[in-house]
Amino acid sequence: MAEDNDSLPTLHPVAGLRLGTTCAGFKVPGRRDLVVCALAEGTEVAAVFTRNAFRAAPVQVAEAHLARCAPRYLVINTGNANAGTGQSGLQAAHETCELLAAEAGCDAQAVLPFSTGVIGEPLPMAPMREGLPRALANLDEAGWSDAAHGILTTDTVPKGDSHRLLVDGKPLTVTGIAKGSGMIRPDMATMLAFVALDARVPQAVLAACLERAVEGSFNRITVDGDTSTNDACVLMATGQGELSVERAEGPTFEALCAAVGEVCESLARAIVRDGEGATKLIDVRVEGGRDRAECLQVAYAIAHSPLVKTAFFASDPNWGRILAVVGRAGLEELDIDAVELWLDEVCIVRRGGRAEDYTESAGQAVMSRNAITVRVVLGRGEVSDHVWTCDLSYDYVRINAEYRT
């Protein structure tokens, strides 16, 4: 059953990787909700997982399997997170791997399971048993778009990005998909993200590339400050292309990191832009800090403030709310006379108070935009950092109030 893929860019196939998607019926009949990804032999895989103490059963199993052998298959279901399910949840995650392994003819430990959806409900195995053969039958190198739809939960649009480029004169393809809309402060990766490339990259080098990409993308987004139990980001290198990157240093490695980072950043911004009920994408930039930690401390304080986020939803230039958050963010010995606050090109605060040349109409013009940069200049150092977030609307409350109904 074809779905509307118009909101996705062209997602280039990655040689050595095939995806199959089907409607298994985990939650909504007729909706794609089960994805299988088949990896060519020799594919290297790196992943990062949630830091939430209540890690979902599939996270625990995927991490354990990845440490033991090279994965050959990934399986992703939506509609049920298989989190907060105790020993029975672990059994269900292991059974999922065993079912796929039996169908595909591989070791169960070569399967990595991923789940997303409602927390605390047992994972139904009947849809898994019935759906896995259909998903495997649908495996296709061109299956990225259907897979992007198949991993969604409360998302309103699928999320994907893809690039083809030359590195050292050799072609490189990087393609990725992600899901995420609410319960977003990844603190490691995102809700779920799967990125693949066709270069030959040793696992340790791939892990270094993923760590850098995640830190500059998925670890710089927040919708509501909540870290999920199921977060995972997987980077796969099939080795089916001409490019080889053997060391985690040098210009070739830097070019690889830039390409993977660009895809991850695009996916991260798409998650925030599609935040539950969101109407605005907000880039909170903090400059002039003593270190990165205090820059992020201020940025997250702004990004998580309900008062600030609701003002953005209302397109209200209520700059006092931002000023108050900077003041209570917890920086010691903050010289308020050195602080500046900007909305895009408009300075709203200078020398501890409202900027002399600021006008309400100028602030209103910026707040009416659907993408806004909040810039805070602390005036106490040379370090800067930023966080992407979104506004807080009526629909965020409605979506989460109705999530299980």
Write the pLDDT tens digit of every residue in 275-311. Answer: 888 999 999 999 999 999 999 999 999 999 999 999 9
**Exposure on the CB side of residue 163, measured as CA atoms within 13 A:** 19
260/367 Cα distance (integer angstroms): 32
Angle, alpha carbons 206-93-211 (nearest 5°)? 20
β-bridge mates for residue 73, sequence order: 38, 111
First-last CA distance in the chain: 26
Cβ-contact 189, 233 below 8 angstroms: yes
Most distant CA atoms of the chain, gap in Å: 72
Output the average pLDDT for the chain: 94
Amino acid at 112: L
Predicted confidence (pLDDT) per residue in 321-369, tens digit: 999 999 999 999 999 999 999 999 999 999 989 999 999 999 999 999 9
Beta carbons of 71 and 65 less than 8 angstroms apart: yes
Confirm if 254 and 344 have CB atoms less than 8 A apart: no
Rounded to 5°, angle at Cα 121 from 116 and 126 = 80
Neighbouring-strand partners of residue 276 = none
pLDDT in tens, 113-167: 999 998 999 999 999 999 999 999 999 999 999 999 999 988 999 999 999 999 9
Question: Quick check: 1 pLDDT over 70?
Answer: no
On whether the CB atoms of residues 32 and 21 are closer than 8 A, the answer is yes
Exposed, middle or buried: residue 379 (CB in 10 Å: 0-12, 13-18, 19+)? middle
DSSP state of 146: H
What 3 state SS string does 185-227 have?
CCCCCCCEEEEEECCECCHHHHHHHHHHHHHCCHHHECCCCCE
* 151-172: b (≥16 Cβ within 10 Å) or e: bbbbbebbbbbbbeeebeeeeb
Q: Is 145 helix (H, G, I), strand (E, B) or coil?
A: helix
Q: Burial, 211: exposed, middle or buried (Cβ in 10 Å; 0-12, 13-18, 19+)?
A: middle
Of the candidates 111, 83, 79, 107, which has an alpha carbon nearest to the alpha carbon of residue 96? 111
The one-letter code for the residue type at 352 is G
How far is the C-alpha of 341 from the C-alpha of 65, rounded, in Å?
48
The edge-to-edge listing of strands for the beta sheet with 34-39 is 17-22, 34-39, 73-80, 111-118
Contact predicate 311/280, CB 8 Å: no
User: Of 21, 190, 238, 389, which is the active-site residue?
Assistant: 190
Look at residue 4 in the predicted model and tell me its pLDDT.
43
How confident is the model over 63-104, as pLDDT tens digits?
A: 999 999 999 999 999 999 999 999 999 999 999 999 999 999
Give the CA distances from residue 246 to residues 11, 206, 253, 381, in Å, rounded to whole numbers and listed in that order: 26, 9, 8, 37
6 pLDDT exceeds 60?
no
- SS3 state of residue 281: strand
Q: How many whole angstroms separate alpha carbon 214 and alpha carbon 218?
A: 5
Catalytic annotation on 359? no
Can you say whether the dihedral through the CA atoms of 30, 34, 38, 39 is positive or negative? positive
- Bridge-partner residues for 282, per DSSP? 372, 389
The answer to whether residues 267 and 174 touch, using CB atoms and an 8 Å cutoff, is no
Give yes or no for a contact between 96 and 113, defined as CB atoms under 8 angstroms apart.
yes
* C-beta of residue 35 within 8 angstroms of C-beta of residue 20: yes
What global pTM score does this model have? Answer: 0.92
- Domains of the chain (ranges; CATH) run 17-273 (3.60.70.12), 281-401 (3.10.20.340)
Residue with token string 């996916």: 267
